[in-house]
Structure 1
Amino acid sequence: MMSRTFSAHRPLSVQRPASFRLSIDSNTTALLSRRSHPPPSSPGAELETLKVPTYYVSGVQDKGKGVVATQPLPRGAIFLEEQPLFTQDPGCTNSNILSALVNCTRDEQREYFKLANAYKNGGKVLPALAIFRTNSFACDDNQQTAVAMQRRGIFLIAARINHSCTPNVGRVWEPARQMMVFRTLRAVLVGEELCINYVDVLGTKEDRNANLVERFGFECACEACAMQGEELAQSDQRRAAIRRLYDEVSACLKEPTLGMRKAQLALRLLQEEGLALYESTFCFDAFQLCVLVSDFANAKAWVRKAWEASCVSSGPDGLAARTFKMYWANPRAHRLSGTMPRMVLSGPV
């Protein structure tokens, strides 16, 4: 979805941009870049890095270790910035991992071998490499780099952040600082566990758990997966609808009114599911539909909302936020501007 492909290791939460091509006619195409950055409301002081300890690593029921908030965290707060213990190319071997560990302290080595090993029961992957594959994160902000080619890193604290199908945390790699930055996607309470998503969360419970078992060797027991009966059926239907709408909006270039209705429906379903992920994607879709028909007033409202969402997930200095801010200042700069006959669509609710 927002990340159309997921590696066998920890995926980008939040999020890598995907792109798709929409046909205006048989001879003309327009590339609409879609951002997979998860979300806000009013970026400002609340987005600053908090200066006091905001989390602790502790035992979590049925999950082993986890990361828990020690104080209330506002939406968009940076609670963890971590440099990798080491990084490796995707084709690394067990020997490569052991060589990298030689340069670590004994305490770091001990902590490394305490991390989860999704390959333990199979025994086909040697332990050092198995732990790397299970716990590594992509350290690459180049949107053109294929998932299978991304350099990956180990983060001893971040590796303790567990999965949820309704994550409250997003992350982004900052290459200038060689740092992985984790932000809250919504307000978090004291004592609440901080979670990212390891896999695509827009499948049904059955699909999500099959993916988790295959890649990480466990089934999820988050709030979304704990639902039963009609409640679970409705949740599965909403998530399946969001996945379908993600593709359908991209096919509505010739029908911007229909595309807008679909984007707004997707945003409503995301809210009902409590999913902060993908908000900026659909807001930016709505923006592009507006500029297509020269509805620049509503376009500015939509791209501002996309900017706010990106500020929460990846920070105001992230590529997506900077791009959205540019279009907020001048929506006519978008390549699709004025492509279709003028009409008025609708803005955010």
Structure 2
Amino acid sequence: MGSLDTTPAYKQQAIEGKGQGLVATRSLKPGDLILSEPPLFTTASLTNPATFEKDLGAIVKGLPKDGQRAFLSLHNNNPGSDPFSNIVRSNGYPLGPDSDVGAIFPLVARLNHACRPNAQHTWNAKRGVEVVHAVREVKEGEELTLSYSMGGPSEERRGSLEAYFGFDCKCEVCSLPQAELEASDARLREAQKLDEAIGDPRRVRHLPERALADCKALLGVYREEGIFDLRLPRLDYDAFQIAAMHSDAARASAFAKLCAEARTVCEGEESEEVVNMRALEAKPASFPNWGATKKWKSKIEDVPKDADANAFEKWLWKEAA
């Protein structure tokens, strides 16, 4: 996925009301790599909270001059005491979702927030770089954005962004006309309820048809809201797990394929998660929690081969033909 154009995909410039940001220098397609950046430094050696600021200062002073300038020019949400620590808190990213080690990526830190982002960042452990990919079509000159929030209706998003990052979000979603914003908020509240229901293991075990229907309903919300970031492959993975629990190799393989494709857009082909999902696509029964019941038992060969898109969708979501 993504194009092979080697023209630089971004440039840094001032963004009205936001300070510095990155904008696209050419049109981008979903999956296009925007940038790949090694860490300026990591927090791996900063293990003593009592000396964190002092030790961090030593790291910064040991950087080349251009590295020092890049770090010190980053936004500080909490100016005052402990300036080095607060710049890290304002701009740091973990080295993967489960890592306790953070890092500073000066270019990635310039990507501003949007509640409907057009890009996704991830840590590529194999290459030791943070990568950013386009997750939807981006026009030349359009600002490149990430989401800093966990989603939810506008009052929740704006409240958390104000609390943690010190700004009142005025992105295209938060700035919708009141009636449209209320409709969006209603959909996103429904998304929260659906996500909670999908995560209920007892419901997945005993009412899998409803759990799968909830997955499709949540996908509909994401499509209507223009959400194309990592929430999509996570939803595909939820659907995969439902099929896997009930020994449905055909649907499990199909959902694993969708998950791998969506992960590829967000993270690139080298992503460990993409590799893992491709393996599950080929052998869904290798999933550790495979086959708690035989309710939907099927074989991979049962995936429809000649069905049109509409018929395949109905089969995938176990809807009546």
Q: Which TM bucket (shorter chain)? A: 0.7 to 0.9
SS of residue matched to 1:80 = strand
**Cα deviation digits, residues 58-117 of structure 1 (max 9, x gap):** 011111111000001111111101111111146462222221112222233223222111
Cα pair 1:47 1:312 within 8 Å, conserved: no
Q: Give the letter for the 1:169 counterpart.
A: A
- For normalisation by structure 2, the TM-score amounts to 0.85
Query: What is the aligned partner in structure 1 of residue 84 from structure 2?
Result: 128
Measured on the aligned residues, the alpha-carbon RMSD in Å equals: 2.0
Larger Rg: 2
SS at match of 1:285: helix
**Contact 1:294–1:342 (8 Å) recurs in 2:** yes
- Confirm whether residue 55 of structure 1 aligns to residue 14 of structure 2: no
Matches within 5 A, 1:266-285: 266-277=218-229, 278-285=231-238
Equivalent position to 2:73, from 101, 114, 122: 114
Cα distance in 2 for residues equivalent to 1:197 and 1:210? 14
**Residue 216 of structure 1, CA deviation:** 1.1
1:335–1:132 distance in 2 versus 1, CA, 3 Å? closer
1:241 aligns with 2:196: no
Q: Partners of 1:221 and 1:96 in 2: how far apart?
A: 37
- 1:32 aligns with none
SS at match of 1:71: coil
1:247-262 residue pairs with structure 2 within 5 A?
247-251=196-200, 252-253=203-204, 254-262=206-214
Deviation, 1:304, is 0.9
Q: Distance in 2 between matches of 1:99 and 1:269?
A: 48
1:139 is matched with: 95
Partner SS for 1:118:
coil
C-alpha distance in structure 1 between counterparts of 2:170 and 2:191, whole Å: 22
* 2:96–2:122 CA contact under 8 A, matched in 1: no
Q: Which stretch of structure 1 is more off in the superposition, 180-189 or 283-292?
A: 283-292
Of residues 118, 121, 142, the one that matches 1:168 is 118
Partner of 2:279: 326
Partner residue, 1:191: 141
User: What code does the residue aligned with 1:189 have?
Assistant: K
- Residue aligning to 1:312: 265
Question: Is 1:88 aligned with 2:43?
Answer: yes
Distance in structure 2 (CA, Å) of the matches to 1:228 and 1:281: 30
Q: Is the 8 A contact 2:56 2:84 kept in 1?
A: yes
Please report the TM-score for the alignment, with normalisation by the length of structure 1: 0.79
Query: Which residue matches 1:218?
Result: 167
Greater mean alpha carbon deviation, residues 285-294 or residues 175-184: 285-294
The runs of 5 or more residues in structure 2 that have no matched partner are 298-313
Conserved 8 A contact 1:259-1:289: yes
* 1:279-335 alpha-carbon deviations (Å, 9 max, x no partner): 111112212222333332222222111110111112222222112111111122223
Partner of 2:300: none
Deviation for aligned residue 1:47: 5.9
Decide whether aligned partners of structure 1 residues 95 and 47 sit closer, same or farther in structure 2, where only a CA change above 3 A counts. Answer: farther
What are the superposed Cα offsets for residues 185-239 of structure 1, whole Å, 9 maximum, x if unpaired? 11211011111111212x2211111111111110111111101322111111111
1: CA distance, partners of 2:70 / 2:225: 36
Q: Which sits farther off after the overlay, 110-119 or 270-279?
A: 110-119
Gaps of 5+ in 1: 1-42
Q: Structure 2: how far apart are the matches of 1:276 and 1:215?
A: 24
Paired residues in the alignment total 294
Of structures 1 and 2, the one with the larger relative CO (CA 8 A, separation 6+) is 1
Displacement of 1:140: 3.7
Match among 24, 33, 37 for residue 69 of structure 1? 24
Deviation, structure 1 residue 129 = 1.9
Whether contact under 8 Å (1:115, 1:131) holds in the other structure is: yes
